[in-house]
Amino acid sequence: MGASNFTEGVDLAFKVIFGISLFFLVGITTVMLYFVVRYSRKRHPHAVQIKDNNVLEITWITIPLILVLLMFYYGYVAFSPERNVPKDAIQITVIGKMWVWTFEYEGGKQSPVLVVPINKAVKLNLHSDDVIHSLYIPAFRIKEDVVPGKKNYMWFIAQQLGEYDVLCTVYCGLRHSYMETKTRVVSEADYAAWLKALPEKSNEPEGLVILKKNACTGCHSIDGTKIVSASFKGLYGKTEKVMTNGTERSVTVDDAYIKSSVYSPDQDVVVGYQKGIMKTYQGIVKDDEMIKIIDYLKSIK
Ligand SMILES: [Cu+2]
């Protein structure tokens, strides 16, 4: 039995198409080699024109038509149920954002991993906060684009307990390849217990929640490791070399500098980095959120 209810159908479509391709690869190559020998100029010095051979023409129309329709049939049979969601499916919202997946359960509880009960239909409502992402669970044989401003969905029934990869398959910026997580398929009882234990609200500091919500942590770590840019750890109070209008100067990282870094990131560009990697958060990070971010940065200096 496949990992999901779609695994077998998609695999069968793949095998049919692969089989037909293999048949043509072997068939065409064989005929080609045979013709090279049989109709070489030595053996067959004068070319003969063959015209109006009805049997031949009907054959090469009918056989490929059947094969192409066969491929269509198996593809259609595997794909069409993927767009037909059972009414009683569990609803989970997926939020794609550069470069994290977040799964939101009933009541607004959020998790960075997708946990689902076995043998239950699960519908994923796909939502993007920024650019086009694509949610892919290879073991389940399902993939859908997550497009900003468009309602898209996918669904499945997990049929085997275990942990499976979840990927983003469209290039969505610098850390696209890190945009991955797991699906955990658990028993129904474990699912209920897990969902119950999932905290209503994160018990992390408010400032960190805001940083994560805006995916700042995709580029700035909080533990000192360098990702795309400097870590937030130890940043506050540090003296930093920046380029302002083409001249290098030293600044101390304080409230005003953090604010201008977030609202006009290209004004002072930290030496060693490129302009334009970080976008402006003007109008996205509100003033009260800014205060919480700064408080948080002070707490990890
Ligand atoms: Cu992505």
CATH number assigned to the domain comprising residue 273: 1.10.760.10
Residue 174 lies in a domain: yes
CA of 134 to the centre of ligand 1 (A): 6
CA of 131 from ligand 1 middle (Å) equals 8
Going from the Cα of 42 to the center of ligand 1, the distance in angstroms, rounded, reads 60
Q: Where are the beta strands (DSSP E) in 169-273?
A: 180-186, 239-244, 247-252, 268-270
Q: Are residues 189 and 113 in the same domain?
A: yes
What's the pLDDT at 108?
Answer: 81
Residue 1 counted as domain residue = no
* Domain co-membership, 78 together with 96: no
As given in the structure block, the two tokens for residue 299 are 């707490």
Let me know whether 70 and 38 are in one domain.
yes
Residue 80: φ, ψ to 5°: -60, -40
**Residues 301 and 236: beta-carbon distance below 8 Å:** yes
CATH (domain of 55):
1.10.287
Distance of CA 78 from the midpoint of ligand 1 (Å) = 26
CA of 132 to the centre of ligand 1 (A): 7
Asked, for residue 219, whether it belongs to a domain, the answer is yes
Q: In what order do the strands lie in the sheet with 247-252?
A: 247-252, 239-244, 268-270
CA of 174 to the centre of ligand 1 (A): 10
- If you measure from the C-alpha of residue 116 to the centroid of ligand 1, how many angstroms do you get, rounded to a whole number? 22
Range of the domain at 59: 7-82
**243 and 190 within one domain:** no
Handedness of CA 182, 185, 190, 195 (dihedral sign): positive
Distance 177 CA to ligand 1 centre (A): 8
Secondary structure (3-state) at 81: helix
The pLDDT score that the predictor gives to residue 202 is: 66
Last residue of a domain, one of 197, 225, 249: 197
Domains identified in the chain, total number: 3
Domain limit, last residue, from 82, 104, 129? 82
State the distance from the centre of ligand 1 to the C-alpha of 145, rounded, in angstroms: 10
**Do 101 and 189 belong together in one domain?**
yes
40 belongs to a structural domain: yes
Tens digit of each residue's pLDDT (9 = 90 or more) over 112-167: 999 999 999 999 999 998 899 999 999 999 999 999 999 999 999 999 999 999 99
CATH number of the domain that residue 171 is part of: 2.60.40.420
- The reported pLDDT for the residue numbered 30 is 97
Distance 179 CA to ligand 1 centre (A): 6
> Would you state the pLDDT for residue 28?
95
Is 182 inside any structural domain? yes
Let me know whether 279 and 260 are in one domain: yes
Domain end (from 141, 166, 197): 197
120 and 143 assigned to the same domain = yes
Residues of the chain with pLDDT under 70: 201-202
pLDDT value at residue 226: 84
How many whole angstroms from 292 Cα to the centroid of ligand 1? 27
Phi-psi region of 273 (alpha: psi -120 to 50; beta: other; left: phi over 0): beta
Q: d(Cα 42, Cα 216) in Å, to the nearest integer?
A: 73
Pairing of strands 121-128, 90-97: parallel
Are residue 38 and residue 116 in the same domain, yes or no? no
Beta strands in the chain (DSSP E): 90-97, 100-104, 110-111, 114-117, 121-128, 133-137, 142-146, 152-157, 162-168, 180-186, 239-244, 247-252, 268-270
39 and 94, same domain (yes or no)? no
- Under 8 Å between Cβ of 233 and 300: yes
Partnered with residue 30 across adjacent β-strands are none
Give the pLDDT score at 205. Answer: 84
pLDDT confidence of residue 141: 95
In a domain, 2, yes or no: no
Answer yes or no: do 192 and 279 share one domain.
no
Q: Would you say residue 118 lies in a domain?
A: yes
From the centroid of its chain, how far is CA 41? 56
- The answer to whether position 213 is within a domain reads yes
- Residue in the block written with tokens 């029934």: 157
Distance, CA 182 to ligand 1 centroid (Å)? Answer: 15
Q: How far is the CA of 278 from the centre of ligand 1 (A)?
A: 17
**Ligand 1 center–CA 169 separation, angstroms:** 7
Residues 211 and 264 in one domain: yes
Instruction: Give the gyration radius of the chain's Cα atoms.
Output: 28
Residues 170 and 238 in one domain: no
Q: Which amino acid is at 108?
A: G
